[in-house]
């Protein structure tokens, strides 16, 4: 049984009561969508099912992930998606979870080709996205998963690599820190677990987590301090990575 601390809710405006159900939107790319997990549907779907349990406060979680989306695409649909997910007398969502950026980072056509989204353009789009988001509600950001470079190119065209991933994720992390948005650095966390561990947790395409990977991702997210206060009980089958 997890305990709730006042610090767990420091990211939410007052008055927020931690025992009331929330409306939460998760926006982003295939990591939000859950591609690669035919059993559990990805970490967002696994969390949605977890919160539907009678042992939980009943948060309403909406998966708004779209495969292939980059920062610009998420920014274009963010406000409209958020505004249409009110519940219970049309209350608006109290929290937004973002996870996007990896699809902006690959090289096109060859390993040293031009970036899919030029870095300076990405930086501008990212700032716009985050400014939009924080003007709507509190925001959490879940960072990208490191790819398996040996499996590139993805779809015979997209060359993802750790060096470019690191550059784009560092820019994202800094932009979040400047806006006091909690950022979970999945990239560094998974790199520290080693190449063998990562390959066991990635799909054959080298880009998306597999079933085991999404289980591990959910475990990492639920043990992240900003998220830990949103639930009170975690069944043992969800903690095994």
- C-alpha angle 24-27-201 in degrees, rounded to nearest 5: 105
Rounded Cα–Cα distance for residues 130 and 31 (Å): 18
- Assess if residue 13 is contained within a domain: no
Looking at 58-67, 107-116, 121-130, which range is the least confident one? Answer: 58-67
Confidence (pLDDT) at 56: 63
- Assess if residue 16 is contained within a domain: no
Confidence (pLDDT) at 20: 67
CB neighbours of 107 closer than 8 A, spacing ≥ 6? 113, 114, 115, 116, 158, 159, 160, 161, 164
Confidence (pLDDT) at 237: 34
Confidence (pLDDT) at 137: 93
| 143 three-state secondary structure | coil
10: pLDDT strictly greater than 70: no
Rg (CA), the chain: 17
- Assess if residue 237 is contained within a domain: no
pLDDT tier, 5 (very low <50, low <70, confident <90, very high otherwise): very low
Q: Give the number of other CB atoms < 10 A from CB of residue 230.
A: 23
Q: Please give the residue range of the domain that contains residue 163.
A: 23-229
- Assess if residue 174 is contained within a domain: yes
- Assess if residue 156 is contained within a domain: yes
- Assess if residue 154 is contained within a domain: yes
pLDDT digits (tens, 9 = 90+) for 146-164: 999 999 999 999 999 999 9
Confidence (pLDDT) at 98: 98
Domain count, the chain: 1
Q: Is 42 left (phi over 0), alpha (psi -120 to 50) or beta?
A: left
Q: The whole model's pTM is what?
A: 0.88
- SS3 helix, strand, coil % of the chain, rounded to 5? 40, 15, 45
- Assess if residue 56 is contained within a domain: yes
């Amino acid at each position: 049984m997890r305990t709730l601390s006042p610090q767990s809710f420091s990211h939410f405006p007052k008055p927020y009561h931690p025992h009331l159900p929330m409306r939460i939107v998760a926006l982003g790319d295939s990591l939000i969508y859950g591609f690669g997990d035919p059993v559990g549907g990805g970490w967002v779907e696994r969390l949605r099912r977890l919160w539907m349990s009678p042992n939980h406060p009943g948060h309403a979680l909406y998966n708004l992930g779209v495969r292939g989306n980059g920062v610009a695409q998420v920014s274009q649909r963010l406000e409209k998606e958020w505004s249409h997910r009110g519940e219970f007398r049309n209350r608006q969502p109290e929290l937004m979870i973002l996870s996007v950026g990896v699809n902006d980072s690959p090289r096109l056509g060859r390993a040293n080709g031009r970036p899919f989204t030029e870095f300076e353009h990405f930086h501008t789009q990212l700032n716009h996205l985050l400014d939009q988001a924080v003007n709507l509600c509190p925001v959490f950001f879940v960072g990208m998963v490191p790819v398996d470079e040996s499996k590139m190119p993805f779809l015979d065209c997209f060359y993802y690599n750790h060096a470019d991933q690191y550059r784009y994720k560092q820019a994202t992390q800094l932009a979040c820190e400047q806006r006091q948005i909690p950022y979970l650095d999945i990239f560094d966390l998974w790199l520290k677990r080693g190449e063998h561990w990562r390959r066991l947790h990635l799909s054959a395409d080298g880009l998306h987590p597999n079933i085991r990977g999404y289980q591990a991702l959910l475990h990492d997210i639920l043990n992240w301090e900003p998220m830990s206060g949103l639930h009170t009980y975690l069944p043992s089958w969800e903690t095994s990575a």
